[in-house]
Amino acid sequence: MTITEKILAAHAGKKQVAPGELLNVRIDLALGNDITAPLAIKAFQEIGAKKVFQRNRVVLVPDHFTPAKDILSAEQCQVLREFAKSQHLSHFFEIGECGIEHALLPEKGLVLPGDVVIGADSHTCTYGALGAFSTGVGSTELGAAMATGKLWFKVPESLKLLYYGKRNPWVSGKDLILFTIGDMGVDGALYQAMEFCGETIQNLPMASRFTMTNMAIEAGAKNGIIEPDEITFQFVKSRAKRAYRIYRSDRDAIYAEIREYNASKIFPQVALPHIPSNVADVREVGKIEIDQVLIGSCTNGHLDDLRVAAKILKGKKISSSLRLIVIPATQEIYRQAIKEGLVEIFLSAGAVISPPTCGPCLGGHMGVLAKGERALATTNRNFRGRMGHPQSEVYLSSPAVAAASAVKGRICHPEEVMRKGT
């Protein structure tokens, strides 16, 4: 069996499962945010549930419209707050200790290798970077899972994505996954498990791994997953608050398809409007002027992402023609960015720093686009109207490309603003 099949089998009390099989699966963690959890709580109450299945296994994170941008968003957060209090939930993270959910949960040690995690947010697939099965579900499913601790799944086929070769300068997990989505299309892995492996993946830091599994959903996948290794263990060992189990794919596991990618032939990528698969080498996109650059989100708001951006921006000023918004994904990342002087670099360059929030990624607040504006963002989606006006445009890139482009005022390769060898 593959790693995905093994995790699902173990959580369904079975020795063997196969793609297409329907399972009733035990849930290790159920997650909701300020958009989806109020609906889940309503479903929870409508089925007559009185208590959550386990108060330390349900996590609520208001992160999309927080700090509350208006009365309605404040009321959404209030629903979560009151439910968390009434259920005595161990894990309710609000302003002051909050963060973007998919960066926060791994940081807090709440998601561990071998887990089954569901969340009423499509990018819950992020946690596959730790060797967990994680996937997004609807609010009704979340409500049922909060009550019962179980949910049914159809076992997905697995797709093996093998990356080999040395990465080129400035190429990160964001470039690898954008290239892959460009190759496969946004439905290329429909209801499949994207299993990322190979020497290139083994040499990726955790931040890049989180980015790759985060965007598995942009290829239509049920989940993205990476087998745990020493890099995983180093991340988990100081954070884990409970025991966990490691799963690995068998050598004779059956895959629907195996694809290979030579990383040495992949260069910094950009996804052009209005779909994540409209991908091109940054050197081939031409001189596209931009009005806003966003560095952050659950995809690229990690400390390593901010370090790369700061390396490029140090001692430079952003173009007077644009706005640069930097959003550390969690309070801890924010704090460390201050300690390392990264925030000072951003401020000196002309950026504004936002508290952790999903706001601009979904066109909610803290960076909404006007008609005709173009943004280059390290987020994960660039659909029409995603970040604001339907006649605005969103381009996706890595933090390195985003930072360099902020200096130039147009989309560019980092080498345009950095000396070779720096």
Which residue segments constitute the domains of the chain, with CATH numbers given? 3-244 (3.30.499.10), 270-416 (3.30.499.10)
> In the prediction, which pLDDT does 241 show?
87
pLDDT digits (tens, 9 = 90+) for 385-415: 999 999 999 999 999 999 999 999 999 999 9
- Average predicted confidence (pLDDT) for the chain: 96
Q: What is the pLDDT of residues 86-128, one digit of tens each?
A: 999 999 999 888 899 999 999 999 999 999 999 999 999 999 9
In this structure, are residues 214 and 312 in contact, taking their beta carbons and an 8 Å threshold?
no
Looking only at Cα atoms, what is the longest distance across the chain?
A: 64
pLDDT value at residue 66 = 87
| Residues paired with 222 in a beta bridge | none
Confidence category of residue 421, pLDDT binned at 50, 70, 90: very low
- On whether the CB atoms of residues 126 and 119 are closer than 8 A, the answer is no
**Whole-number Å distance between alpha carbons of 104 and 97:** 9
The pLDDT of residue 420: 53
Nearest to 376 by CA among 391, 358, 394: 394
Contact status, residue 295 vs residue 327, Cβ threshold 8 Å: yes
Q: What percent of the chain has pLDDT over 70?
A: 99
Mean pLDDT of 240-262: 96
Q: What is the pLDDT of residues 139-195, one digit of tens each?
A: 999 999 999 999 999 999 999 999 999 999 999 999 999 999 999 999 999 999 999
pLDDT at 131 exceeding the cut of 50: yes
Mean pLDDT of the 201-213 span:
97
Residues 333-390: tens digit of each pLDDT: 999 999 999 999 999 999 999 999 999 999 999 999 999 999 999 999 999 999 999 9
